[in-house]
Protein backbone atom coordinates (compact mmCIF):
# COMPACT_ATOMS: atom_id res chain seq x y z
CA UNK A 1 0.00 0.00 0.00
CA UNK A 2 1.54 3.33 -1.03
CA UNK A 3 1.20 6.50 0.91
CA UNK A 4 -1.04 9.22 -0.56
CA UNK A 5 0.75 12.54 -1.00
CA UNK A 6 -1.59 15.50 -0.62
CA UNK A 7 -2.14 17.60 -3.75
CA UNK A 8 -1.10 20.68 -1.79
CA UNK A 9 2.46 19.37 -2.26
CA UNK A 10 2.32 21.09 -5.62
CA UNK A 11 2.57 24.83 -5.62
CA UNK A 12 1.95 26.72 -8.87
CA UNK A 13 5.05 28.82 -9.42
CA UNK A 14 3.98 32.15 -10.85
CA UNK A 15 5.86 34.29 -13.33
CA UNK A 16 7.44 37.66 -12.95
CA UNK A 17 5.46 40.76 -13.90
CA UNK A 18 7.23 41.04 -17.27
CA UNK A 19 5.14 39.33 -19.97
CA UNK A 20 6.82 36.65 -22.08
CA UNK A 21 6.07 38.56 -25.27
CA UNK A 22 5.65 42.20 -26.16
CA UNK A 23 3.25 43.69 -28.70
CA UNK A 24 5.99 43.77 -31.32
CA UNK A 25 6.66 40.02 -30.93
CA UNK A 26 3.11 39.13 -31.98
CA UNK A 27 2.49 38.11 -35.59
CA UNK A 28 0.19 39.89 -38.01
CA UNK A 29 -3.28 38.42 -37.67
CA UNK A 30 -4.66 38.20 -41.21
CA UNK A 31 -4.50 35.01 -43.23
CA UNK A 32 -1.17 34.46 -45.01
CA UNK A 33 -1.94 33.99 -48.70
CA UNK A 34 0.58 34.30 -51.55
CA UNK A 35 3.16 35.71 -49.09
CA UNK A 36 0.91 38.57 -47.94
CA UNK A 37 -1.09 38.95 -44.75
CA UNK A 38 -4.68 39.69 -45.75
CA UNK A 39 -6.50 42.73 -44.39
CA UNK A 40 -8.20 41.82 -41.13
CA UNK A 41 -10.18 44.99 -40.31
CA UNK A 42 -13.85 44.38 -39.59
CA UNK A 43 -13.53 40.59 -39.56
CA UNK A 44 -14.92 38.34 -36.82
CA UNK A 45 -12.15 37.32 -34.44
CA UNK A 46 -11.20 34.51 -32.07
CA UNK A 47 -9.42 35.30 -28.79
CA UNK A 48 -6.06 33.61 -28.34
CA UNK A 49 -5.74 32.91 -24.61
CA UNK A 50 -2.76 32.30 -22.34
CA UNK A 51 -3.93 29.30 -20.28
CA UNK A 52 -1.48 30.03 -17.47
CA UNK A 53 -3.59 33.01 -16.37
CA UNK A 54 -6.57 33.22 -18.74
CA UNK A 55 -5.44 36.51 -20.29
CA UNK A 56 -6.02 37.28 -23.98
CA UNK A 57 -2.68 37.38 -25.83
CA UNK A 58 -4.01 38.25 -29.27
CA UNK A 59 -6.89 37.60 -31.64
CA UNK A 60 -7.04 36.00 -35.07
CA UNK A 61 -9.66 36.18 -37.77
CA UNK A 62 -12.36 33.60 -38.24
CA UNK A 63 -11.66 32.13 -41.66
CA UNK A 64 -14.43 31.39 -44.14
CA UNK A 65 -14.75 28.94 -47.03
CA UNK A 66 -13.99 31.82 -49.42
CA UNK A 67 -10.72 32.48 -47.56
CA UNK A 68 -9.77 28.82 -48.04
CA UNK A 69 -10.65 28.99 -51.73
CA UNK A 70 -8.39 32.01 -52.22
CA UNK A 71 -5.52 30.27 -50.45
CA UNK A 72 -6.01 27.11 -52.50
CA UNK A 73 -5.98 29.19 -55.70
CA UNK A 74 -2.64 30.71 -54.63
CA UNK A 75 -1.22 27.28 -53.82
CA UNK A 76 -2.39 25.90 -57.17
CA UNK A 77 -0.86 28.80 -59.07
CA UNK A 78 2.50 28.20 -57.36
CA UNK A 79 2.49 24.42 -57.66
CA UNK A 80 4.08 23.65 -61.02
CA UNK A 81 7.03 26.06 -60.64
CA UNK A 82 7.74 24.72 -57.13
CA UNK A 83 7.51 21.13 -58.34
CA UNK A 84 9.91 21.89 -61.21
CA UNK A 85 12.74 22.94 -58.89
CA UNK A 86 15.35 20.24 -58.55
CA UNK A 87 15.66 18.72 -55.05
CA UNK A 88 18.88 20.67 -54.40
CA UNK A 89 17.05 23.97 -54.91
CA UNK A 90 14.17 23.06 -52.63
CA UNK A 91 16.61 21.68 -50.06
CA UNK A 92 18.54 24.95 -50.01
CA UNK A 93 15.33 26.83 -49.27
CA UNK A 94 14.46 24.42 -46.46
CA UNK A 95 17.91 24.97 -44.96
CA UNK A 96 17.36 28.73 -45.16
CA UNK A 97 14.03 28.28 -43.36
CA UNK A 98 15.83 26.26 -40.66
CA UNK A 99 18.42 29.04 -40.35
CA UNK A 100 15.65 31.63 -40.00
CA UNK A 101 14.05 29.57 -37.21
CA UNK A 102 17.46 29.31 -35.50
CA UNK A 103 17.83 33.11 -35.65
CA UNK A 104 14.39 33.54 -34.08
CA UNK A 105 14.39 30.54 -31.74
CA UNK A 106 14.07 32.59 -28.58
CA UNK A 107 11.17 34.65 -29.93
CA UNK A 108 9.33 31.57 -31.22
CA UNK A 109 9.82 29.74 -27.91
CA UNK A 110 8.50 32.69 -25.89
CA UNK A 111 5.53 33.03 -28.24
CA UNK A 112 4.77 29.31 -27.97
CA UNK A 113 4.91 29.47 -24.17
CA UNK A 114 2.77 32.61 -24.06
CA UNK A 115 0.08 30.88 -26.14
CA UNK A 116 0.19 27.36 -24.63
CA UNK A 117 1.49 28.00 -21.10
CA UNK A 118 4.10 25.30 -21.65
CA UNK A 119 7.39 25.62 -19.77
CA UNK A 120 10.12 27.45 -21.67
CA UNK A 121 12.42 24.38 -21.84
CA UNK A 122 9.58 22.45 -23.54
CA UNK A 123 9.08 25.27 -26.06
CA UNK A 124 12.83 25.43 -26.71
CA UNK A 125 12.80 21.68 -27.32
CA UNK A 126 9.88 22.12 -29.76
CA UNK A 127 11.84 24.76 -31.68
CA UNK A 128 15.02 22.66 -31.74
CA UNK A 129 13.03 19.75 -33.16
CA UNK A 130 11.37 22.07 -35.68
CA UNK A 131 14.82 23.08 -36.94
CA UNK A 132 15.96 19.47 -37.14
CA UNK A 133 12.82 18.48 -39.06
CA UNK A 134 13.59 21.07 -41.77
CA UNK A 135 17.26 20.06 -41.92
CA UNK A 136 16.44 16.36 -42.14
CA UNK A 137 13.83 16.84 -44.90
CA UNK A 138 16.24 19.10 -46.82
CA UNK A 139 18.75 16.23 -46.87
CA UNK A 140 16.23 13.44 -47.40
CA UNK A 141 14.68 15.17 -50.42
CA UNK A 142 18.02 14.86 -52.20
CA UNK A 143 18.48 11.18 -51.53
CA UNK A 144 15.13 9.54 -52.15
CA UNK A 145 15.34 5.90 -53.01
CA UNK A 146 13.11 4.06 -55.43
CA UNK A 147 12.94 0.83 -57.36
CA UNK A 148 15.75 0.56 -59.91
CA UNK A 149 14.94 1.46 -63.51
CA UNK A 150 15.22 -1.91 -65.27
CA UNK A 151 13.68 -4.32 -67.73
CA UNK A 152 11.04 -6.26 -65.83
CA UNK A 153 8.97 -7.20 -68.89
CA UNK A 154 10.97 -8.37 -71.90
CA UNK A 155 11.89 -5.52 -74.24
CA UNK A 156 10.44 -2.84 -71.93
CA UNK A 157 12.29 -0.43 -69.69
CA UNK A 158 10.42 0.51 -66.49
CA UNK A 159 11.16 3.80 -64.75
CA UNK A 160 9.49 4.52 -61.41
CA UNK A 161 9.04 8.23 -60.70
CA UNK A 162 8.17 9.89 -57.40
CA UNK A 163 6.05 12.97 -58.10
CA UNK A 164 4.50 15.61 -55.84
CA UNK A 165 0.80 15.14 -55.15
CA UNK A 166 -0.10 18.78 -55.84
CA UNK A 167 -1.76 20.98 -53.21
CA UNK A 168 -1.97 19.62 -49.68
CA UNK A 169 -4.31 20.81 -46.93
CA UNK A 170 -3.00 20.59 -43.38
CA UNK A 171 -4.81 20.89 -40.04
CA UNK A 172 -2.77 21.02 -36.84
CA UNK A 173 -3.48 20.67 -33.09
CA UNK A 174 -2.68 22.87 -30.09
CA UNK A 175 -0.28 20.67 -28.13
CA UNK A 176 2.89 21.34 -30.17
CA UNK A 177 1.67 24.10 -32.49
CA UNK A 178 4.83 24.91 -34.44
CA UNK A 179 6.40 21.46 -34.22
CA UNK A 180 3.31 19.64 -35.52
CA UNK A 181 3.16 22.21 -38.33
CA UNK A 182 6.86 21.61 -39.13
CA UNK A 183 6.31 17.84 -39.26
CA UNK A 184 3.92 18.55 -42.17
CA UNK A 185 5.45 21.63 -43.83
CA UNK A 186 8.98 20.24 -44.23
CA UNK A 187 8.17 16.96 -46.02
CA UNK A 188 5.27 18.47 -47.98
CA UNK A 189 7.45 21.23 -49.43
CA UNK A 190 10.49 18.97 -49.78
CA UNK A 191 8.44 16.58 -51.93
CA UNK A 192 7.47 19.45 -54.25
CA UNK A 193 3.91 20.17 -53.11
CA UNK A 194 2.38 23.49 -52.16
CA UNK A 195 0.07 23.79 -49.19
CA UNK A 196 -2.58 25.54 -47.12
CA UNK A 197 -2.38 25.06 -43.35
CA UNK A 198 -4.97 25.75 -40.67
CA UNK A 199 -3.42 25.96 -37.21
CA UNK A 200 -5.55 25.18 -34.16
CA UNK A 201 -7.80 28.15 -33.41
CA UNK A 202 -6.40 28.00 -29.88
CA UNK A 203 -2.72 28.24 -30.85
CA UNK A 204 -2.22 30.01 -34.19
CA UNK A 205 0.52 32.45 -33.16
CA UNK A 206 3.74 30.56 -33.95
CA UNK A 207 2.41 29.32 -37.30
CA UNK A 208 1.59 32.91 -38.28
CA UNK A 209 4.96 34.12 -36.97
CA UNK A 210 6.69 31.37 -38.95
CA UNK A 211 4.86 32.59 -42.08
CA UNK A 212 6.03 36.13 -41.41
CA UNK A 213 9.62 34.95 -40.90
CA UNK A 214 9.84 32.84 -44.07
CA UNK A 215 7.82 35.09 -46.40
CA UNK A 216 10.93 36.28 -48.25
CA UNK A 217 12.36 32.75 -48.58
CA UNK A 218 9.53 30.99 -50.40
CA UNK A 219 7.93 31.80 -53.76
CA UNK A 220 4.47 33.33 -53.27
CA UNK A 221 1.71 30.76 -52.86
CA UNK A 222 3.90 27.81 -51.87
CA UNK A 223 2.94 28.10 -48.20
CA UNK A 224 -0.38 29.61 -47.09
CA UNK A 225 -2.07 29.92 -43.70
CA UNK A 226 -5.80 30.33 -43.06
CA UNK A 227 -6.86 30.73 -39.44
CA UNK A 228 -10.24 29.73 -38.07
CA UNK A 229 -12.32 26.85 -36.87
CA UNK A 230 -12.14 23.20 -37.84
CA UNK A 231 -15.83 23.04 -38.66
CA UNK A 232 -15.44 25.68 -41.39
CA UNK A 233 -11.80 26.06 -42.50
CA UNK A 234 -10.74 22.47 -41.72
CA UNK A 235 -13.87 21.10 -43.27
CA UNK A 236 -13.47 23.15 -46.48
CA UNK A 237 -9.84 22.03 -46.76
CA UNK A 238 -10.83 18.37 -46.47
CA UNK A 239 -13.68 18.76 -48.94
CA UNK A 240 -11.98 21.09 -51.43
CA UNK A 241 -11.98 19.51 -54.91
CA UNK A 242 -8.59 21.01 -55.84
CA UNK A 243 -6.77 19.78 -52.76
CA UNK A 244 -5.06 16.47 -53.44
CA UNK A 245 -4.47 15.34 -49.88
CA UNK A 246 -5.56 16.37 -46.40
CA UNK A 247 -3.23 15.77 -43.45
CA UNK A 248 -4.58 16.20 -39.94
CA UNK A 249 -2.97 15.85 -36.54
CA UNK A 250 -5.73 15.90 -33.96
CA UNK A 251 -8.37 13.91 -32.17
CA UNK A 252 -10.07 10.78 -33.44
CA UNK A 253 -13.35 12.68 -33.86
CA UNK A 254 -11.75 15.30 -36.12
CA UNK A 255 -9.96 12.53 -38.03
CA UNK A 256 -13.25 10.81 -38.78
CA UNK A 257 -14.84 14.11 -39.87
CA UNK A 258 -11.91 14.85 -42.19
CA UNK A 259 -11.94 11.36 -43.69
CA UNK A 260 -15.70 11.62 -44.29
CA UNK A 261 -15.53 14.94 -46.13
CA UNK A 262 -12.38 13.86 -48.03
CA UNK A 263 -14.23 10.84 -49.37
CA UNK A 264 -16.41 12.98 -51.69
CA UNK A 265 -13.38 13.98 -53.79
CA UNK A 266 -11.49 10.75 -53.02
CA UNK A 267 -8.48 12.76 -51.92
CA UNK A 268 -5.75 11.08 -49.95
CA UNK A 269 -5.96 11.31 -46.17
CA UNK A 270 -3.10 11.35 -43.66
CA UNK A 271 -4.19 11.10 -40.01
CA UNK A 272 -2.10 11.37 -36.85
CA UNK A 273 -4.69 10.94 -34.12
CA UNK A 274 -4.90 10.22 -30.43
CA UNK A 275 -3.14 7.64 -28.30
CA UNK A 276 -3.19 5.92 -24.93
CA UNK A 277 0.27 4.44 -24.71
CA UNK A 278 0.66 1.30 -22.59
CA UNK A 279 3.88 0.94 -20.61
CA UNK A 280 4.44 -2.77 -19.99
CA UNK A 281 6.79 -3.37 -17.06
CA UNK A 282 7.94 -6.95 -16.50
CA UNK A 283 9.19 -8.32 -13.19
CA UNK A 284 12.82 -8.32 -14.40
CA UNK A 285 12.76 -4.64 -15.44
CA UNK A 286 14.97 -2.00 -13.85
CA UNK A 287 12.18 -0.37 -11.89
CA UNK A 288 14.14 2.71 -10.84
CA UNK A 289 15.06 3.50 -14.45
CA UNK A 290 11.47 2.97 -15.56
CA UNK A 291 10.11 5.27 -12.83
CA UNK A 292 12.62 7.97 -13.61
CA UNK A 293 11.94 7.76 -17.38
CA UNK A 294 8.18 7.92 -16.83
CA UNK A 295 8.55 11.05 -14.72
CA UNK A 296 9.39 12.72 -18.05
CA UNK A 297 7.62 10.53 -20.59
CA UNK A 298 4.24 10.63 -18.86
CA UNK A 299 4.29 14.29 -17.83
CA UNK A 300 6.09 16.04 -20.71
CA UNK A 301 3.93 18.95 -21.92
CA UNK A 302 1.68 18.29 -18.88
CA UNK A 303 0.70 14.96 -20.43
CA UNK A 304 -0.87 16.75 -23.42
CA UNK A 305 1.10 14.42 -25.65
CA UNK A 306 -0.31 11.74 -27.94
CA UNK A 307 2.52 9.31 -27.09
CA UNK A 308 2.53 10.02 -23.33
CA UNK A 309 3.42 7.06 -21.12
CA UNK A 310 0.04 7.28 -19.41
CA UNK A 311 -1.10 3.68 -18.94
CA UNK A 312 1.21 1.52 -16.84
CA UNK A 313 0.72 -2.26 -16.90
CA UNK A 314 3.11 -3.70 -14.34
CA UNK A 315 3.69 -7.30 -13.26
CA UNK A 316 1.79 -7.93 -10.03
CA UNK A 317 4.95 -9.08 -8.18
CA UNK A 318 6.70 -5.71 -8.60
CA UNK A 319 3.69 -3.37 -8.70
CA UNK A 320 4.00 -2.09 -5.14
CA UNK A 321 7.72 -1.31 -5.46
CA UNK A 322 7.29 0.35 -8.88
CA UNK A 323 4.35 2.44 -7.66
CA UNK A 324 6.39 3.68 -4.72
CA UNK A 325 9.27 4.69 -6.99
CA UNK A 326 7.00 6.42 -9.51
CA UNK A 327 5.05 8.34 -6.88
CA UNK A 328 8.29 9.52 -5.33
CA UNK A 329 9.61 10.68 -8.71
CA UNK A 330 6.36 12.42 -9.65
CA UNK A 331 6.29 14.21 -6.29
CA UNK A 332 9.32 16.27 -7.30
CA UNK A 333 7.76 17.70 -10.49
CA UNK A 334 7.72 21.50 -10.52
CA UNK A 335 4.43 23.06 -11.67
CA UNK A 336 4.06 26.64 -12.82
CA UNK A 337 3.71 29.34 -15.43
CA UNK A 338 6.43 29.55 -18.07
CA UNK A 339 7.42 32.91 -16.61
CA UNK A 340 8.16 31.08 -13.33
CA UNK A 341 11.59 30.18 -14.71
CA UNK A 342 13.64 27.43 -16.30
CA UNK A 343 12.94 24.94 -13.48
CA UNK A 344 9.22 24.70 -14.31
CA UNK A 345 8.34 21.28 -15.72
CA UNK A 346 4.54 21.19 -15.80
CA UNK A 347 2.35 23.91 -17.28
CA UNK A 348 -1.44 24.30 -17.42
CA UNK A 349 -4.02 22.54 -19.56
CA UNK A 350 -4.48 24.37 -22.86
CA UNK A 351 -7.94 25.81 -22.15
CA UNK A 352 -10.73 26.01 -19.64
CA UNK A 353 -12.74 23.49 -21.68
CA UNK A 354 -9.87 20.98 -21.67
CA UNK A 355 -9.22 21.60 -17.96
CA UNK A 356 -12.92 20.85 -17.26
CA UNK A 357 -12.62 17.69 -19.36
CA UNK A 358 -9.56 16.45 -17.42
CA UNK A 359 -11.21 17.37 -14.08
CA UNK A 360 -14.21 15.29 -15.19
CA UNK A 361 -11.95 12.24 -15.59
CA UNK A 362 -10.44 12.84 -12.13
CA UNK A 363 -13.90 13.19 -10.53
CA UNK A 364 -15.29 10.09 -12.17
CA UNK A 365 -12.23 8.02 -11.25
CA UNK A 366 -12.69 9.07 -7.62
CA UNK A 367 -16.41 8.24 -7.77
CA UNK A 368 -15.45 4.78 -9.04
CA UNK A 369 -13.30 4.30 -5.95
CA UNK A 370 -9.98 4.65 -7.78
CA UNK A 371 -7.30 6.06 -5.52
CA UNK A 372 -4.78 8.74 -6.46
CA UNK A 373 -1.46 7.96 -4.75
CA UNK A 374 -0.46 11.51 -5.61
CA UNK A 375 -2.39 14.45 -7.08
CA UNK A 376 -5.90 13.76 -8.29
CA UNK A 377 -7.21 17.34 -8.18
CA UNK A 378 -6.93 20.66 -9.97
CA UNK A 379 -4.62 23.24 -8.41
CA UNK A 380 -5.99 26.48 -6.96
CA UNK A 381 -5.48 29.96 -8.40
CA UNK A 382 -5.53 31.44 -11.88
CA UNK A 383 -4.88 29.30 -14.93
CA UNK A 384 -5.83 25.74 -15.77
CA UNK A 385 -3.37 23.73 -13.66
CA UNK A 386 -3.88 20.09 -12.63
CA UNK A 387 -1.75 18.29 -10.06
CA UNK A 388 0.44 15.52 -11.55
CA UNK A 389 -1.57 12.42 -10.73
CA UNK A 390 -0.92 8.70 -10.33
CA UNK A 391 -4.00 6.50 -10.03
CA UNK A 392 -3.19 3.12 -8.47
CA UNK A 393 -4.85 -0.33 -8.35
CA UNK A 394 -6.88 0.64 -11.41
CA UNK A 395 -9.30 -2.15 -12.36
CA UNK A 396 -9.22 -3.60 -15.88
CA UNK A 397 -11.42 -1.56 -18.24
CA UNK A 398 -11.74 1.57 -16.05
CA UNK A 399 -12.52 4.74 -18.00
CA UNK A 400 -9.34 6.50 -16.86
CA UNK A 401 -7.11 3.71 -18.21
CA UNK A 402 -9.09 3.27 -21.42
CA UNK A 403 -9.70 6.80 -22.72
CA UNK A 404 -7.20 9.46 -23.75
CA UNK A 405 -7.23 11.99 -20.88
CA UNK A 406 -4.48 14.16 -22.38
CA UNK A 407 -3.42 15.55 -19.03
CA UNK A 408 -0.84 14.86 -16.29
CA UNK A 409 -2.45 11.58 -15.28
CA UNK A 410 -0.94 8.08 -15.11
CA UNK A 411 -2.91 4.95 -14.30
CA UNK A 412 -1.35 1.78 -12.87
CA UNK A 413 -2.83 -1.66 -13.51
CA UNK A 414 -1.24 -5.05 -12.84
CA UNK A 415 -0.91 -8.16 -15.01
CA UNK A 416 -0.16 -11.79 -14.27
CA UNK A 417 1.86 -13.08 -17.24
CA UNK A 418 3.17 -12.13 -20.69
CA UNK A 419 0.04 -13.14 -22.60
CA UNK A 420 -2.14 -11.21 -20.17
CA UNK A 421 0.11 -8.14 -20.54
CA UNK A 422 0.01 -8.25 -24.35
CA UNK A 423 -3.74 -8.83 -24.56
CA UNK A 424 -4.44 -5.97 -22.15
CA UNK A 425 -1.95 -3.59 -23.84
CA UNK A 426 -3.55 -4.31 -27.23
CA UNK A 427 -7.05 -4.05 -25.81
CA UNK A 428 -7.50 -0.42 -26.82
CA UNK A 429 -8.83 1.23 -29.96
CA UNK A 430 -5.60 3.26 -30.14
CA UNK A 431 -2.34 2.07 -31.70
CA UNK A 432 0.12 4.94 -31.62
CA UNK A 433 2.90 4.07 -29.17
CA UNK A 434 3.86 1.65 -26.39
CA UNK A 435 6.88 0.66 -24.35
CA UNK A 436 8.20 -2.57 -22.93
CA UNK A 437 10.50 -2.73 -19.93
CA UNK A 438 12.53 -5.90 -19.47
CA UNK A 439 16.13 -7.16 -19.21
CA UNK A 440 15.16 -10.40 -20.95
CA UNK A 441 16.44 -10.46 -24.56
CA UNK A 442 13.75 -12.82 -25.85
CA UNK A 443 10.98 -10.68 -24.38
CA UNK A 444 12.59 -7.50 -25.67
CA UNK A 445 12.18 -8.83 -29.24
CA UNK A 446 9.09 -10.94 -28.90
CA UNK A 447 6.74 -8.62 -27.05
CA UNK A 448 7.18 -5.58 -29.37
CA UNK A 449 6.46 -7.82 -32.36
CA UNK A 450 3.12 -8.77 -30.77
CA UNK A 451 2.09 -5.21 -29.88
CA UNK A 452 -0.21 -3.29 -32.23
CA UNK A 453 1.43 0.13 -32.05
CA UNK A 454 3.26 2.25 -34.62
CA UNK A 455 6.18 2.85 -32.24
CA UNK A 456 7.37 0.48 -29.49
CA UNK A 457 10.25 1.48 -27.27
CA UNK A 458 12.23 -1.05 -25.26
CA UNK A 459 13.47 0.27 -21.91
CA UNK A 460 12.59 3.85 -22.79
CA UNK A 461 9.59 5.94 -23.83
CA UNK A 462 8.94 9.06 -25.93
CA UNK A 463 12.33 9.27 -27.62
CA UNK A 464 11.89 10.53 -31.19
CA UNK A 465 14.25 11.26 -34.08
CA UNK A 466 13.71 12.84 -37.48
CA UNK A 467 15.10 9.74 -39.24
CA UNK A 468 12.48 7.34 -37.87
CA UNK A 469 8.76 7.23 -38.66
CA UNK A 470 6.01 8.36 -36.30
CA UNK A 471 2.40 7.36 -36.73
CA UNK A 472 -0.30 5.03 -35.57
CA UNK A 473 -2.23 1.86 -36.24
CA UNK A 474 -5.94 1.24 -35.65
CA UNK A 475 -7.82 4.23 -34.17
CA UNK A 476 -4.65 6.34 -34.05
CA UNK A 477 -4.84 6.84 -37.81
CA UNK A 478 -2.60 6.13 -40.77
CA UNK A 479 0.25 7.79 -42.61
CA UNK A 480 3.66 8.60 -41.19
CA UNK A 481 5.28 11.80 -40.00
CA UNK A 482 9.07 12.25 -39.99
CA UNK A 483 11.58 10.03 -41.88
CA UNK A 484 11.59 9.12 -45.57
CA UNK A 485 8.17 7.52 -45.04
CA UNK A 486 6.64 11.00 -44.70
CA UNK A 487 8.26 12.01 -48.00
CA UNK A 488 6.73 8.92 -49.57
CA UNK A 489 3.31 9.76 -48.12
CA UNK A 490 3.42 13.23 -49.65
CA UNK A 491 4.33 12.02 -53.11
CA UNK A 492 2.90 9.63 -55.67
CA UNK A 493 4.45 6.76 -57.59
CA UNK A 494 4.29 6.78 -61.37
CA UNK A 495 5.46 3.91 -63.52
CA UNK A 496 6.67 4.89 -67.00
CA UNK A 497 7.31 1.92 -69.31
CA UNK A 498 9.27 2.31 -72.56
CA UNK A 499 8.83 -0.17 -75.35
CA UNK A 500 12.40 -0.79 -76.55
CA UNK A 501 11.61 -3.39 -79.17
CA UNK A 502 11.31 -1.01 -82.11
**Alpha-carbon span 437 to 282, nearest angstrom:** 6
451 alpha-carbon distance from chain centroid: 22
Contact status, residue 296 vs residue 329, Cβ threshold 8 Å: no
The residue from 272, 305, 337, 345 that is catalytic is 272
Residue number with CB closer to ligand NAD (78 or 305): 305
Least distance CB 417 / ligand NAD (angstroms): 30
Q: How far is the CB of 206 from ligand NAD (least distance, A)?
A: 14
Q: Give which of 327, 331, 334 is closest to 287, Cα–Cα.
A: 327
Give the CA diameter of the chain: 84
The answer to whether the CB of 429 falls within 8 A of the CB of 474 is yes
- Supply the DSSP symbol for 425: H
Residue closer to ligand NAD, measured from CB, 210 or 322: 210
Phi, psi of 450, rounded to the nearest 5 degrees: -100, 0
Check if 112 is active-site.
no
DSSP result, 83-98? HHS-HHHHHHHHHHHH
Q: How far is the CB of 344 from ligand NAD (least distance, A)?
A: 21
Q: What is the DSSP letter of 343?
A: T
The catalytically annotated residue of 305, 306, 310, 404 is: 306
Nearer to ligand NAD by C-beta: 166 or 228? 228
CB closer to ligand NAD out of 345 and 404: 404
CB of 129 to ligand NAD, least distance (A): 12
CB of 37 to ligand NAD, least distance (A): 20
3-state class (DSSP) for residue 180: helix
- Nearer to ligand NAD by Cβ, of 243 and 432: the residue is 432
Contact 468, 313 (CB under 8 A): no
> Residue 232 CA to chain centroid, in angstroms?
22
Least distance between ligand NAD and beta carbon 470 (Å): 6
310 is catalytic: no
From CA 245, how far away is CA 235, in angstroms rounded?
13
Of 201 and 413, nearer to ligand NAD (C-beta) is 201
For residue 298, give the nearest of 272, 278, 318 by alpha carbon. Answer: 278
By beta-carbon proximity to ligand NAD, the closer residue of 236 and 424 is: 236
Instruction: List the one residue out of 431, 435, 477, 475 whose CA is nearest residue 454.
Output: 431
Count CA within 13 A, CB hemisphere, residue 356. Answer: 3
Locate all alpha helices (DSSP H) within 117-218, ordered by sequence: 120-140, 177-190, 205-214
Smallest Cα–Cα separation from 93: which of 85, 105, 81, 102? Answer: 85
Binding site for ligand NAD (CB under 6 A): 171-175, 180, 198, 200-201, 229-231, 234-235, 238, 248-251, 254, 257-258, 272-275, 306, 404, 406, 432, 472, 476
User: Cβ of residue 201: shortest distance to ligand NAD, in angstroms?
Assistant: 5
DSSP 378: B
| Positions of E strands within 316-408 | 335-336, 371-374, 389-392
Residue positions annotated with a catalytic role: 272, 306
Amino acid sequence: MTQTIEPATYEVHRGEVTPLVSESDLPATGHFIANQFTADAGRDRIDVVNPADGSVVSTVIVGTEEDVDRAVAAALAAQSDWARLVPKERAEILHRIADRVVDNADLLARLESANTGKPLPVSHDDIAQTIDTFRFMAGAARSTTSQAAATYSEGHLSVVLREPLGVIGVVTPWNYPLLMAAWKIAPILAAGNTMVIKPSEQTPLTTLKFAELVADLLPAGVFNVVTGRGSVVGSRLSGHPQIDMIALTGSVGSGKAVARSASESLKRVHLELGGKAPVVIFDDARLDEAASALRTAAFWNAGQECGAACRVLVHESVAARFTELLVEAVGSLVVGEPGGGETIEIGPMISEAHYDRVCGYLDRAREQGIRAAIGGTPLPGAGYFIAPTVFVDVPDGAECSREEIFGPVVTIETFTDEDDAIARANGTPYGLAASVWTENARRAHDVPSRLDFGTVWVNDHLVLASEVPWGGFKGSGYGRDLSIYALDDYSRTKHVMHNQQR
